[in-house]
A and B are shown apart, each in its own frame.
Chain A
Amino acid sequence: MTAPPVIEYRDVRKRFGDFTALDGVSLTIARREVVCLIGPSGSGKSTLLRCTNGLEAIDDGSILLDGKVLPTDARGVRLMRRRMGMVFQNFELFPHRTVLANVLIGPVTVLRLPRAEAEARARTLLDKVGLADKAASYPASLSGGQQQRVAIARALAMEPEVMLFDEPTSALDPETIGEVLGVMKRLAEEGMTMIVVTHEMSFARRVADRVAVFERGRIIEEGPPAQIFDAPTVERTRDFLSHLGWSG
């Protein structure tokens, strides 16, 4: 791994009351790298993602973006968030806006792009995720997989350097999972830096450069997918994977 790190987690800790969500997580994400975070529910994967773009504040340790500690002032946080796209488990499309208006809203409101330019960008992205014909539709009329693809286009419209995916297929019907993973795979092939919290082991296996296994707020094992899935060195990793029915 010779590329410079984009995001670096150093002994990150986060508590919610008595519950320790992150118990000293250290991890480095290089540019153009795809890192999948796997592990049981409540093990801290999503929390780490939410701390990365400041939706949650960390209690201790530090997160660095391009070698600089993440800002905490309101303006600094906004500028930082522009550089990271986030995709949520429940899509969180804005139901009162059309698909096109959902993708437009970031560039127009935040980047202050002229309407025509933003619209051209939005249409290109909708085309890219295969939904150019749905531009005028409202989110409620789309399938889950289509909504999630719009959400990816909406995040990409900000031209982020890093994409954060928080269980992007967990709320989807099985038959629409593939179309979302397909979009994500293409994005990875184009060289997007991606951190993906997922339970889709075959996606992690095929697309990830590295996989980090979480348990109880810690990373218990980390390495290339071949190692994690075929020759895990940590007993708990083997247990977790076998619970999912993973047989290598």
Chain B
Amino acid sequence: MKLDWAVVWDHAGALAQGTALTILLAVATMAIALPGGLIVAMLRLSGIRPLAWASTTFTEFFRNLPLILVIYATYYILPLATGIAFSPFATALVALSLNVSAYNGETFRAGIVSIRRGQGEAALALGMSRLQAMREVVLPQALRRVLPVLASTWVALFKDTSLVSVISVGELAYTAMEIRSQTFRVLEMLTAMAAIYWMLGYPQAKLVDAINRHFGISE
């Protein structure tokens, strides 16, 4: 079998666009799922029963369903439920945000409860409100502690964005697969796709290692 790498260069523009969309989707998802996860964690720890229950339900629902199912379900259910026609990109963003918010919620919760109780008490003893104690004392320490986990979630998310190709979002995986079906150059396109994901992913994974080294030890 003869490989023809020209096909990759011929479609370099499209691949670059797909790559840009992959990055945009991952960044936008994390931009929603970080505050989203924080809200999920706060509700869970609020001490108010119905809110904690809603948060737990949300987390266990989205954490335990396959992401591809959530993507399909969002694609079919969201327009029915809201009456609005969402673009594939917006649909993908919703599905990924639900999934990653659930994960981040658990991460934040674990970080917050890992901070010694006395820290919060020392803040309260100074006359701070519970919200101030959380914002000034507990959260900054919790965030530092969970940064490595958030970084791992980010790397996983970056690759998982490829799943939204099933609803025709023109990100990297979808673009590469489209070029494959038009040109029948399967191996070339798979290799190109792998190379691009790897080149983007590897430095990120290295960065996660560095973060782990730097923040892994606490107190």
What number of residue pairs across chains A and B have CB atoms under 8 A from each other? 63
Q: Which of A121-147 contact B (CB under 8 A)?
A: 140
Is A95's CB under 8 angstroms from B121's CB? no
- Chain A residues with CB below 8 A from B121, complex form: 55, 88, 92
Partner of A154, one of B126, B130, B132: B126
Is B137's CB under 8 angstroms from A94's CB? yes
Is B17 among interface residues, defined by CB-CB distance under 8 A? no
| B111-140 interface bits toward A, Cβ cutoff 8 Å, 1 = contact, 0 = none | 000001011011111111110100011001
Number of interface residues, chain A, beta carbon within 8 A = 25
- Chain A residues with CB below 8 A from B125, complex form: 53, 55, 81, 84-86, 88, 155
A93 to B118, CA, bound (A): 9
Is A32 among interface residues, defined by CB-CB distance under 8 A? no
Is A109 among interface residues, defined by CB-CB distance under 8 A? yes
Which of chain A's residues has its CB closest to B129's CB? Answer: A78
Is A158 among interface residues, defined by CB-CB distance under 8 A? yes
- Chain B residues with CB below 8 A from A110, complex form: 126-128, 132
Is B162 among interface residues, defined by CB-CB distance under 8 A? no
Is A55's CB under 8 angstroms from B124's CB? yes
Is B144 among interface residues, defined by CB-CB distance under 8 A? yes
Is B10 among interface residues, defined by CB-CB distance under 8 A? no
Is A106's CB under 8 angstroms from B126's CB? yes
- Chain B residues with CB below 8 A from A113, complex form: none
Is B212 among interface residues, defined by CB-CB distance under 8 A? no
Is A7 among interface residues, defined by CB-CB distance under 8 A? no
- Chain A residues with CB below 8 A from B137, complex form: 94, 105
Is B127's CB under 8 angstroms from A79's CB? yes
Is B136's CB under 8 angstroms from A95's CB? no
- With contacts A96-B141, A96-B144 taken as known, whether A81 is within 8 angstroms of B127 at the C-beta atoms is yes
| A75-93 interface bits toward B, Cβ cutoff 8 Å, 1 = contact, 0 = none | 0001101101110101011
- With contacts A55-B121, A95-B141, A96-B141 taken as known, whether A158 is within 8 angstroms of B219 at the C-beta atoms is no
Partner of B127, one of A82, A88, A92: A82
Which of chain B's residues has its CB closest to A54's CB? Answer: B124
A109 to B132, CA, bound (A): 8
A92 to B132, CA, bound (A): 16
- With contacts A55-B121, A94-B137 taken as known, whether A140 is within 8 angstroms of B219 at the C-beta atoms is yes
Is A92's CB under 8 angstroms from B129's CB? no
- Chain A residues with CB below 8 A from B132, complex form: 109-110
Is A74 among interface residues, defined by CB-CB distance under 8 A? yes
Smallest beta-carbon distance B127→chain A, Å: 4
Is B126's CB under 8 angstroms from A74's CB? no
| A94-129 interface bits toward B, Cβ cutoff 8 Å, 1 = contact, 0 = none | 111000000001100110000000000000000000
A94 to B138, CA, bound (A): 9
A106 to B118, CA, bound (A): 16
A242 to B144, CA, bound (A): 48
Which of chain A's residues has its CB closest to B140's CB? Answer: A96
Is A105's CB under 8 angstroms from B126's CB? yes
Chain A interface residues (CB < 8 Å from chain B): 53, 55, 74, 78-79, 81-82, 84-86, 88, 90, 92-96, 105-106, 109-110, 140, 154-155, 158
Chain B interface residues (CB < 8 Å from chain A): 116, 118-119, 121-130, 132, 136-137, 140-141, 144, 219
- Can you show 12 pairs from A to B with CB atoms below 8 A apart? A81-B124, A90-B116, A92-B116, A92-B118, A92-B119, A92-B121, A93-B122, A96-B144, A106-B126, A106-B127, A109-B128, A110-B127
Q: A53-B125, A93-B122, A155-B125 provided; 6 other pairs, C-beta below 8 A?
A: A82-B126, A85-B125, A86-B125, A88-B125, A94-B141, A106-B126
